[in-house]
Amino acid sequence: MSRRNISNKLSVEFAPGRIIRWRKRRFVVVDCTGFEAIIAREVGKRRLERIPVAEAQPDHSINQRAISVTNLVAVPEAKWQTAVRQFTVLKRLLEMDGIERTRAAVEKVAKILKKHPATIYRWIESYNCSGRLSELLRKNRADRGKSRLSSKVDTIIEDAIKKIYLTAEQPHISAVIEEVNLQCFKAGLKKPAANPSRRRIATLSDRLKLEKRKGKKAAAEKYEPIKGHFPGADFPLAVAQIDHTPMDVIVVDEEHRQPIQRPSLTVVSHMVLGFSIYLEKPSAFTVGMAIAHAILPKENWLAGVGVQAEWPWPGGPRSGNSFSECRCS
C-alpha cells in the first residue's frame, strides 16, 4: 500500500481496488510500480494505464474502501465455479446503466441466485470498484476464531481447564465439560456447548500440559535444547563449522531431462563464510573447495555470478585446527 500526502487535510491511498481520478477520469488502482507511478484501469474499461503518483487525485464521489486481494491459488475449485456461475447471472446487471438497473431487475437476479437484494447491490459495487470476479467469493467472517461467549463463561471454561484438565490425574475432556456445566448452573448462566471447551483444550501445547502435570523441570528437559559450551569458540571466527546436507532439488541431464540425483551442499558456517555444491557425496574434495571459497576474497566470485552485493569475510579461522565437520541428513 502506498500513500501520498497532498496537504494536512488530504491524502491519496493507492491500495489495490481504490478509486482515484486522473485527467478528469476515474480509475481503479491495480498495482504500484514504485514511488513514482501506479498501474490503474479506467472504470468500465480493460486497458491499463501507468499514472504518475504526483498527478493522481482522490475520488470523493463514492464511499472508498480498500479491496482485499484474494489468493486465488488457495480457492477450492468448487467455490470458484460457484462464483463463475453467479457472475454469469449477475453480468446482465453489470452491463446495465443506473437507469436500467431497477429494483425489480435486482430482485429478479437475487431470486435466481437465492440471495438477498442487498447482497446483489453489494456485489455490484464491489465489482465496479475492483473489476475482480473474486469479489463474488464468500468472505470469511472477520471474527472467525474469536470467542463469542460472554466473559463470565469464558472465565469458567479457563478455570475448569486449569483446575480439572491440567492436573497430574490427566482426566478425560468430559470431566472439564461437566465442571463447566456445573459452574454455569451455580452462576445462573446458560451452559455452553461442549465444542468451545474441546477447541480450547485442543490448542493447548504439549509443553504446557507437561509443565502443569509434571513440573517445569520435566518440561524443560524434554523441550529445551541441551545447553553446553563448544571448546575454543571464545571470539568471532575462532572456529568454523562445516555442514553437509542434500539439497531439495533434482539435477537432470541437459539432453534427455532425465533425473541424475540430488546435489549436496557444503557450508562453512556459522555465518556463511563459504560453500560448495557438487553432485558427488561429501568428501575431502568438496570440503576443500568450501574451505577455499571461505578463505579467498569474494569480489571476483560475486562479479562472476552477477550479484551486486558485499561479502566482506575472506580468511579462515584464527587457529589452524579450528575447522570442525558434521554431516546432516
- Quote the pLDDT of residue 64: 47
CA-to-CA distance for 37 and 52, rounded, in angstroms? 4
- pLDDT, tens only, 153-184: 888 999 999 999 998 888 889 999 999 999 99
pLDDT digits (tens, 9 = 90+) for 271-328: 788 888 888 888 889 888 888 888 888 888 888 888 888 887 776 665 554 555 555 4
Task: Assign 212 to helix, strand or coil.
Answer: helix
The H or E element containing residue 130 is: helix 117-130
Identity of residue 134 = S
If 0-12 CB within 10 Å is exposed, 13-18 middle and 19+ buried, where does residue 168 land? Answer: exposed
Query: How far is residue 86's CA from residue 180's CA, in Å, rounded to a whole number?
Result: 45
Domain 151-222: CATH class, spelled out: mainly alpha
E strand map for the chain: 3-5, 11-13, 19-22, 25-32, 37-42, 48-52, 57-58, 240-246, 251-252, 259-261, 264-269, 274-278, 323-327
Q: At what angle do helices 194-202 and 173-186 cross, to 10 degrees?
A: 130
Rounded CA gap, 101 and 120, in Å? 11
pLDDT digits (tens, 9 = 90+) for 94-144: 777 667 778 888 888 888 888 888 888 887 777 766 666 666 676 655 555
Which alpha helices (DSSP H) does 203-298 contain, by range? Answer: 206-214, 216-223, 284-295
Q: CB under 8 Å to 13, separation ≥6 — which residues?
A: 1, 2, 3, 64, 66
Backbone angles phi, psi at 164, to 5 degrees: -105, -50
- The model's pLDDT over 65-90, given as tens digits with 9 standing for 90+, comes to 444 545 555 667 777 788 788 888 88
- Please give the torsion angle defined by the CA atoms of residues 106, 111, 114 and 117, in that order, rounded to the nearest 10 degrees: 30
Are 264 and 278 within 8 A, CB to CB?
yes
pLDDT of residue 318: 58
Model confidence over 223-245: pLDDT tens digits?
887 766 666 666 666 777 888 88
One of 2.30.30, 2.40.128, 3.40.50, 1.10.10 is the CATH number of 3-58, namely 2.30.30
Q: Return the higher-pLDDT residue of 240 and 267.
A: 267
List the grid coordinates of 70: 484474494
